[in-house]
Amino acid sequence: MSIAPPTTTKPKVVICIGDIHGYITKLQNLWSNLQTLIPPSDFHYARIIFLGDYCDRGPHTREVLDFLIALPSKYPNQSHVFLAGNHDFAFAAFLGAIPPPPDGSAFSDTWEEFKPSEEREGWYKDDGYEKMHLQGRRWAGKITVKFNTAKGTEYKGSIYDAGTTFESYGVPHGSSDLMKAVPDDHKKFLSNLVWIYEEENVSIETENGLQSCKLIAVHGGLEKGKDVKEQIKYLKEKDTRIPKVEPLSGRKSVWDIPEELSKSATIVVSGHHGKLHVDGLRLIIDEGGGMEQNPVAAIVLPSKTIVRDTDKL
């Protein structure tokens, strides 16, 4: 059945989907709910922005990546944006699926600043570690403390809870065998993830009616007190010299819209924070936080409708 595109006078539907963290059933149920809720002409021609963190914590990272990789061929009239989360970046770093530092420096240069944490976090020290980015070593490491007091949960293998990702590919946590076990199309998917996405003329419902805005999507957010243009530049370039990419992994530093953007109508949408927070044009869509008992949520623009995998539609 062919579905006609929506009329050009209607604002384009943009769907932003929060962190999935290896929960395939939640992703399937959320997708089904979006399909039920949104009229077919809007859904089939929508822009879908995945906000990152597809792996770790939940048990089915491999199946989640299969689902995401298949979307463009299953829904050829949609456009799909796949952002890198801090977990995906670390997974890709372990596999060698990130670009080399632009200045020709070695990935081992990223270790120095965080060396004091190496013992506690039990950084990966097996095949290939000498040429690995800091976050790849942390991701595949074996953390020496068992309990994450901030989250009230036990660590799953590493500080990133990557044990479940290893298991989804049939290998034990921390094993270099994962490099061979991950299929090439998954490595390609991870290496193609963008660190930031920008789009002009995105419509959103506000107190003053429908407003046309610029949209910036980045997993954690943009840092306050740092030049926004500079941040956008290095995020677009995927500058892997940086040991810890704050817009992918920061917390308080990236929570708010930077002051220089608040002067113009700019939506900043992120996942990452383990919260659902809609405040004006700042949208944080991560109700799940990778916790088994929490839903995975999406926001549909322009209406700002929140859709969850648990909704009974």
- Residues annotated as catalytic (active site), given as ranges: 87
In sequence order, what are the residues at sequence separation of 6 or more whose Cβ sits closer than 8 angstroms to the Cβ of residue 289?
Answer: 19, 21, 273, 274, 275
8-state DSSP, 300: E
